[in-house]
Structure 1
Amino acid sequence: MISGCSGGGKSTLLAELARRAYAVVAEPGRRIIAEERTGDGAALPWVDARAFARRALEMSIEDYEIARGLTFFDRGVVDAAVAIAATGGEQPTTIIGRVRYDRLFLAPPWPEIYVNDADRRHSLEKALVDYERVRRAYLDAGYHPVMLPRDTVAARADFILSQLQG
């Protein structure tokens, strides 16, 4: 699992791992936004954050269930659960306990590379608040995060792979 701060380089890192022929699962949020843009847009995060969070949880569970072998995920069940709780919903603790990732790598806040785009409309300040919620939720769920270094994409990929060999 690769989670952490929005705009912290997770998707770019996953692209590097995919380039190296590892199985990767793209962030549910970006996939949901792409789907919603071709549909009615009812579950876009800036339209209905709760519907968006519920879809992210469903997608994360499906991703987990179909993954085989070493697979790198860009966000997952815990991230979606945090989003559900942030919208006033009840955090699905049973699912967090059932869907477990083997390792957790956290991308720390990295203001120097943070940029907004058509899908990432929120401010860095909101990203920092969300990061702390996600970090805390993973700790509360019993994960022991490994912090990713602020380094080149290749060096970050090398770091993850070296951690998995140890």
Structure 2
Amino acid sequence: MDKIIISGGPGSGKSTLLLALESAGFQCVPEVSRELIRQEVAKDSKCVPWKDLACFAKLCLHQMIIDFENVLERELTFFDRGIPDIIAYLRFGGLPVDDIFVAAAKHYRYAANVFIAPPWEAIYINDEERWQTFSEAGALYSEIKNVYTELGYLVTELPLAPVRERVEFTLAKLERIEYN
């Protein structure tokens, strides 16, 4: 079955959409980075994106591969970000992209259609794991969109709309069951 990516810049409503899809009965994989940030901060580790992005990217890659391999193949699964997002974050951070990230992005392929949430200032907030400004979130969104396009994915932009409308839009684009 399909492994569908929901991506976009920080604070654009991705996680809220995933929660709504999960509530509707779909299998969903949460964003890896938030949990890893919490774990690394609790350990007082330097392997957090604002101190050592390269180290943090490797942690994310390891967990994203595990998540990719562990989903039930018979179910439609939505992922809050995918391996290509790591490449975008590294580029955005001005860091080189090691071959392991490119090889993983090519090997672990998601469904061809990727949904991307555009910057949405009305809902954007900073929190413990989201340190970027709204402007940085917008620039990161552009880099994410570029990476997915370069890797041959069809990028579909989500509307700036309430979560229910985003769910309906996503499912309609996938030509799946209607959201009740």
Provide the TM-score with structure 2 as the length reference: 0.86
CA contact (8 A) 1:57 1:81 kept: no
Alignment map for 1:67-82 (pairs within 5 Å): 67-68=71-72, 69-82=75-88
Structure 1 partner of 2:95: 88
1:50 aligns with 2:79: no
Q: How far off is 1:143 after superposition?
A: 0.6
Gap runs ≥5 in structure 2: none
SS at match of 1:104: strand
Structure 1 partner of 2:139: 129
Gap runs ≥5 in structure 1: none
CA distance in 2, matches of 1:83, 1:62: 20
CA distance in 2, matches of 1:50, 1:128: 21
Superposed CA RMSD in Å reads 1.5
Q: Match for 1:11: what amino acid?
A: S
Q: Match for 1:48: what amino acid?
A: D
Match of 1:40 among 39, 44, 48: 44
Match of 1:160 among 170, 173, 176: 170
SS at match of 1:46: coil
CA distance in 2, matches of 1:5, 1:47: 20
Provide the TM-score with structure 1 as the length reference: 0.93
Structure 1 partner of 2:16: 12
Identity of aligned residues (%): 35
Q: How far off is 1:37 after superposition?
A: 2.8
CA distance in 2, matches of 1:31, 1:89: 24
Structure 2 partner of 1:97: 106
